[in-house]
Structure 1
Amino acid sequence: MAEPRQPQNDAYSLILAAIDHGTYRPGDRLVESELAERFGVSRTPIREALQRLETQSLLARDGRSLIVASLDHNQLAELYVVRTELEGLAARLAARHATAEEVRVLSAMAREDRALIDDPNALSRANRRFHKQIHLASHNRYLVQQLDLVHRSMALLATTSLAVDGRGADALDEHDQIVAAIASGDGDGAFEALKMHISKAFETRLRHDAASAPGE
């Protein structure tokens, strides 16, 4: 008896997770047959998932092929503008609505993530979990949905700013400031602390990209 086919949403989630985890990086070509074999899904839901990802601008056309999209300078700047405001709002709402348990979880994350300071990839994953916890602590489902879309686009960045020398330690110090503001119920302070955190990450990325650009 044949195994039941997985629904399209499963194929979509599997490909999205692979992009998010760096299995497929900007510029990588995605082939239906290879994806179907990798994930054990028939080609029809894979094709539908690829179409959906292309509609969301996570994939782009390269001739007849689909590749993981990349962000140019203007797209990156636009993304960070939106991310900064939405993340700041999430922190403000978390300061108002987070439960004592949620605050303790955030505090534990900020403390335990210091053990990952020498592993930028692991620290990047932990950083995403930390920010997701703030989103959830806002207790606003519509904001969480929008931030999920923003962070989905962040997967199109080939590198993490946390890999830049010194940025990891600074980012963790900033996490401590964010948690302290949320724990004290200081909505304005949490908003400003998280906005500054994202602003510094963006500046670090811009400096890194400028330094890595080929000379003329």
Structure 2
Amino acid sequence: MNQIKQPNKDAYSQILEAIDIGVYRPGDRLVESELAERFGMSRTPIREALQRLETQSLLERDGRSLIVASLDHNQMAELYVVRRALEGLAARQAARHATEEEVRVLREMVQDDDKLVGDPVALSRANRRFHKQIHLASHNRYLVQQLDLVHRTMALMATTSLAAKGRGEIAQNEHAGIVAAIEARDETAAEQALNDHISIAFMTRLKQDADERETRG
């Protein structure tokens, strides 16, 4: 097993990131000794991180072992309802409170991320950065905290909706529209644009799941 040393990140952050980028996927078993070796640290911080992740329902018990949790259809639907509401509110608040510099960063992110269309993994990472930037631009710490929890739970989905054919380019166009509304200080339009963006992502994911069920037969 290759050792991954990231001295600026604690065990919790490193395990969470590994789940987020697909190193560990729903159903995968997490073993203290293997994680300690991978991240180059003792088992005590690993054990504490696993307990924290279990408390947050990102891990679940399978006998005496801990595995990465998975979301069923109802849980996914519930998560998207909450995400849509919170993301829309963040966009509304960003339209009201974002500084000129923050708006410029959002615009540049969209331009840079256009180059990643066709690479769903890289675009997914860029997508998370873009949404996080909107959360921060809302200048509401409690909203940011709740959205962090939602996005941590999103990591439990085995695939990204950006992997669907044509979705990357469409999503980027939607991002551009969200930024345009924020830049225009149009709170209602910004909220609606982000709400629509999340709704379309949810529909895309539902279609992906339907295709997977059909493939499994």
TM range (shorter): over 0.9
| Structure 2 residue aligned with 1:70 | 70
Give the deviation of 1:21 after TM superposition: 1.8
| Structure 2 residue aligned with 1:127 | 127
| Structure 2 residue aligned with 1:3 | none
Give the deviation of 1:63 after TM superposition: 1.5
| Structure 2 residue aligned with 1:106 | 106
Secondary structure of the residue aligned to 1:156 is: coil
Give the deviation of 1:94 after TM superposition: 0.2
Q: Is 1:95 aligned with 2:79?
A: no
Question: For 2:127 and 2:46, how far apart are their aligned partners in 1?
Answer: 30
Runs of 5+ consecutive residues of structure 1 not aligned to the other structure: 1-5
Question: For 2:163 and 2:21, how far apart are their aligned partners in 1?
Answer: 16
| Structure 2 residue aligned with 1:213 | 213
Identity level (%): 75
TM-score, normalising length from structure 2?
Answer: 0.94
Question: For 1:168 and 1:41, how far apart are their aligned partners in 2?
Answer: 37
Task: List per-residue Cα deviations over 1:59-105 (Å, max 9, x = no partner).
Answer: 01112111111100000000000000000000000000000001011
Amino acid at match of 1:78: E
Counterparts of residues 153-172 of structure 1 (less than 5 Å): 153-172=153-172
Question: For 1:136 and 1:104, how far apart are their aligned partners in 2?
Answer: 14
Question: For 2:37 and 2:105, how far apart are their aligned partners in 1?
Answer: 39
Q: Is 1:59 aligned with 2:59?
A: yes
Amino acid at match of 1:145: Q
Question: For 2:200 and 2:151, how far apart are their aligned partners in 1?
Answer: 17
| Structure 1 residue aligned with 2:3 | none
Q: Is 1:116 aligned with 2:90?
A: no
Q: Is 1:151 aligned with 2:146?
A: no
Moved over 4 A (4+): none
Runs of 5+ consecutive residues of structure 2 not aligned to the other structure: 1-5
Question: For 2:80 and 2:118, how far apart are their aligned partners in 1?
Answer: 25
| Structure 1 residue aligned with 2:183 | 183
Question: For 2:124 and 2:48, how far apart are their aligned partners in 1?
Answer: 30
Amino acid at match of 2:88: G
Structural RMSD (CA): 1.5
Amino acid at match of 1:61: R
Task: List per-residue Cα deviations over 1:157-200 (Å, max 9, x = no partner).
Answer: 11000000011111011001100000000000000000000000
